[in-house]
Amino acid sequence: YKFNEDDSGTVIAEEAEPDQDSFIGLRYPASDIPKQARALYVRSPLRIIADVNAPTHAIHPALDPNGMPLDLSLAVTRAVSPIHLEYLRNMGVAASMSVSILRNGQLWCLFACHHRTPRHISYELRSEIELFSELFNYQLAQVELTSELAELDQARSLHDRLMTQLSGGTSM
């Protein structure tokens, strides 16, 4: 799921079972992922929903010692929006995992993994996925930097040719 300049998103790649519907090429409006959810994706790059039908439980007390709401944004077992759970159910998804890919501190894309049955992800596998996302982020930065440097080299070469021709009085 790659984010576009206008914050909408497009499914650019997928791996699916032969009998599953394809999402490739589908485009979703920016409102599909609300700002607060995007902020969570940036803050916590791994979001796991082991079972969309699992019961949720309130935490007591709901406020910290300073009277502020508890911040559970980094808690792996934190519940997600009931609206998002219904969205997943409507897609036929029973378990979901999203991995954030960030560029310059901004959400660049998501690896969205869905499963038809509830699925628990072990701590070891979560750690491996987090390492993968960090390595992917690093590799993406390297690819983008290499591309930017190549563009700079092309621009510098064009500039040098133009200046040589202009200073020599030759026409282009």
- As a whole number, mean pLDDT of residues 130-155 equals 90
Instruction: Note the pLDDT tens digit of each residue in 58-111.
Output: 888 889 899 999 888 888 878 888 999 999 999 899 999 999 999 888 899 999
Residues in the chain: 172
Q: Where are the beta strands (DSSP E) in the chain?
A: 2-3, 9-10, 27-28, 46-49, 95-103, 106-115
pTM across the whole model: 0.78
Of the candidate ranges 12-16, 122-126, 140-144, 167-171, the one whose mean pLDDT is the lowest: 167-171
